[in-house]
Chain A
């Protein structure tokens, strides 16, 4: 069977029309129903329906790597570990391995580095000249329980400090109480504050009780102008899962059909294994198609995933199972 080849997507696609959002219209999502069991069945069987082996696996893992928002969001982050992270972001895979795969001239690097506001300045230094954008978590991350005024101010200072991407968190109480208009206004205000910086809206799906509500929150976030919708902060008890991702990307597909705007998707938290990353890429390819299989529209929020991908790539090259210590740490 033939597949449409996708356009080259080494890095971000600058031709993409940015989601400008649309006026709030509850009728677009009020009647939404998501059937949990059916969604979970689809998600559970998907990884059994598709398999990538050998060269395909290596190429897909490199693609996954190129979509990573390499992240450190810890209380003990310092300039030291952030600089190390940036260095790793720029050269994520050992050169000998890239050469063996014929990928040494393809500018393989991660999609972004994601840090708290206070570390932006260090990341700017660390990433200097690489073209890798800095993403900052914002708006009272991870709980988001601060005044809107404070949220706006956080965004503004992070953008001023050099963040090109802002990961905001939604106010869970608005979601839990189905106060959709208020949520729309809040996200729209954040988007305005972001200016040219791209905004990823974190729904914290682990704290939303039903898939139907996840779908509605996704709609509101997109209507309010989010560039990405993102599953989780990584701090909730349940983070990114395939079923919740399926629910979110299906709304994203419908939103695109309605508006012509392609919104990106970022699963985050708990994705540490290469095999998991492949499953997400399969999910995206099957449900959205190749257009979404690049860092412009797809990101992994992950810290340990890169290490596992490196080991799998070495296994592909050498045929030997690899060890973590054989790869430079971040």
Chain B
């Protein structure tokens, strides 16, 4: 073009990034990549290869190995073999390796950026200015954690061999989020990148070689879903970390149920982007660009549901429509491009079909007037207005550049719409009123709340979801916990301390004369008879008749869950106020300690002294959690410039607590009290064989200012009731202390709504031992961290 013409028209010209070094990297491997196992390039046993495609041109970039079960075995074996030495070299040596990785990535930053753009189709601006800097930052940050492991985290130890499966939307960034914390904490890993975007992971393998990382610490195996499944199911893998679709996340949850493999899942989302009438609308528009058109909208935490206050909706829609016109789509390696290509043909079809469905369902489509490139997998920025919450496009994750917009009338309605989803990954809240922002943020069921910003990430802050967006966090101290376990777990017993009943020595098998006592259940602050109208006889360990308890059924569980949801008082109380109630419970228990002790004696035939000791420890335990109620709090993370990033522990919501059979009172106290300390409302299934300590306890609850619905007690067949709880979609979390099969069932049945589970995998605590029976680990499992990002500056 002539300079004169450009001078007159002021158009943008091509500004391509040079790809020659990235191409040279592919050529160095003869465009065929082997598996990276035990520090060496290893040909796949399958002898099969598949193509990696540049989605912007549909050209083949390279052949990638398909790892089969045999290869997975080799990789896991290599990781297992490397583990003892990796643990032995200690925190400082590991820190030095992580630091070297960070530095080496920075040295080759542009190569990574170009290769990522070629393989994934995302614009070079994003890989260069966002992805790769975040990757380097992640390794730096975790080099620090590696150094501090023995001081800051001395009560925890590594898990062992970690299997990691990552998605195609941020290939190298997701790799760094997985690998950095894992190896920093002394684990070794086997990572499988997504089949469509393996290349930067393979370049990363080269970086590991360059810095001399010990063989086997990092193993990269490529392949499709089958490869991932083999990794998930491998018996020597101690933990699976997965980022991807909710559908696959559920499959992995079921596959690992009961195995004791630790699991963290970062899954899909349909995150609300909430705009209130006093927001800076021009900034909101740029926020939307960064929320839904960043990375072609292929972002799990994309602000894909625009909720806008009715008073400004039309004004905002107009601004968005204007802004869409000036977005530029095209060659991802062009430095002046806002949007690149969709990752592959399949995803393009998913997006195209969903948009068609949106049109068919009657929502109003808006796309810019310009056309996409004909070659390659491109899709234009898209907005739907007039979308109702019942529209498919408002409910389902599209994973493309498609924004669905709807309006709200009041703040309350905004919150309701925001939470009207099975997902809970992130939310973005736009208002210039800090009071409003901080009122809304805690009400949204999401692991991340961005105030007046969106898609902001930093290694120092945790990222992860609520609900079906998965569990576990990545980044921050909360993220490290996913790669550690408490050292105390090593001292748990394999032998159950079960209550066994010996009928041969029974003396009395019938009720004694005297006033009949009816033990009821406790639901919504009321003593409740069982729905089924049946009762069960409870015997002592010597077979003596003690009394009868209600035989709860699924409807009683249902009622208890309803009652728990009806109570919003407890969660909204201050830590101090909850502590007051807990102290009061301890006080009332102390008054009746002899009565509770004799109940324990009656059921378990222990000595009075032992029973009194159990009551005394119970009181002490309540004191511990009362003390922690206003002290177990969050952090302010050091993240980006001029931002307060609050990591706040929030209650899970409604929790099921399935108590241990043993220690009838102390087992109940040790599980129920920490759960309610964090503000949860609980449905308790007490010890099946010795339930009276729990049912006696409702009289204490009634006299201790515990709000109705905070603690609900349903007695009966433990595992049958527990399974109803696990299958209940309105229960947010479940703890289970019991046998191994029960644990498996809990994890299996919880997969459908991605309930948080905490089970004992057939390992038994000594509840009388303070180190085993109490601590902040209980509170950690009773809460989840929400990170709230608050930028400031007038």
Contact = CB atoms under 8 A, between A and B. Distances in A.
B575 interface: no
B328 interface: yes
State the 6 A-B residue pairs at the shortest beta-carbon distance, nearest first: A38-B283, A59-B6, A56-B13, A37-B791, A36-B793, A33-B432
A147 interface: no
Interface string B1-15: 111101111111111
A281 B326 CA distance: 15
Given A49-B125, A51-B336, A209-B794, A56 B6 contact: yes
Report, as a range, how many residues of chain A touch the other chain. Answer: 35 or more
Nearest to A108: B7
A8 B4 CA distance: 10
Given A37-B452, A49-B125, A1 B7 contact: no
Contact of B280 (A6, A8, A35, A51): A35
A285 B279 contact: no
Contacts of B280: 33-35, 38-39
Contact of B7 (A39, A49, A103, A285): A103
A102 B283 contact: no
A225 to B, nearest CB: 24
A326 interface: no
Contacts of B125: 48-49
A242 to B, nearest CB: 13
14 contacts: A2-B371, A37-B642, A37-B793, A41-B453, A42-B283, A48-B335, A52-B15, A53-B14, A53-B15, A55-B3, A56-B15, A59-B3, A250-B282, A289-B326
Interface in B1-38: 1-4, 6-15
A285 B6 CA distance: 14
B338 interface: yes
A159 interface: no
B287 interface: yes
B243 to A, nearest CB: 25
Contacts of A210: 794
Given A49-B336, A56-B11, A102-B4, 12 more contacts: A1-B328, A5-B9, A6-B8, A33-B280, A37-B643, A38-B286, A41-B453, A50-B335, A51-B335, A209-B794, A286-B326, A290-B9
B8 A5 contact: yes
A52 B338 contact: no
Contacts of B8: 5-6, 8-9
Contacts of A286: 326
A13 B13 CA distance: 25
B330 interface: yes
Interface string A59-72: 11011000000000
Q: Interface residues of B: mostly helix, strand, loop or mixed? A: loop
Interface core residue of B7, B9, B14 (most chain A CB under 10 Å):
B7
Contacts of A209: 794
A35 B432 contact: yes
Interface core residue of B13, B14, B129, B279 (most chain A CB under 10 Å):
B13
B371 A52 contact: no
Contacts of B432: 33, 35
A250 B284 CA distance: 13
Contacts of B330: 1
Contacts of B371: 1-2
Given A38-B283, A48-B125, A50-B336, A62 B792 contact: no
Nearest to A35: B280
Given A1-B371, A35-B432, A209-B794, A58 B11 contact: no
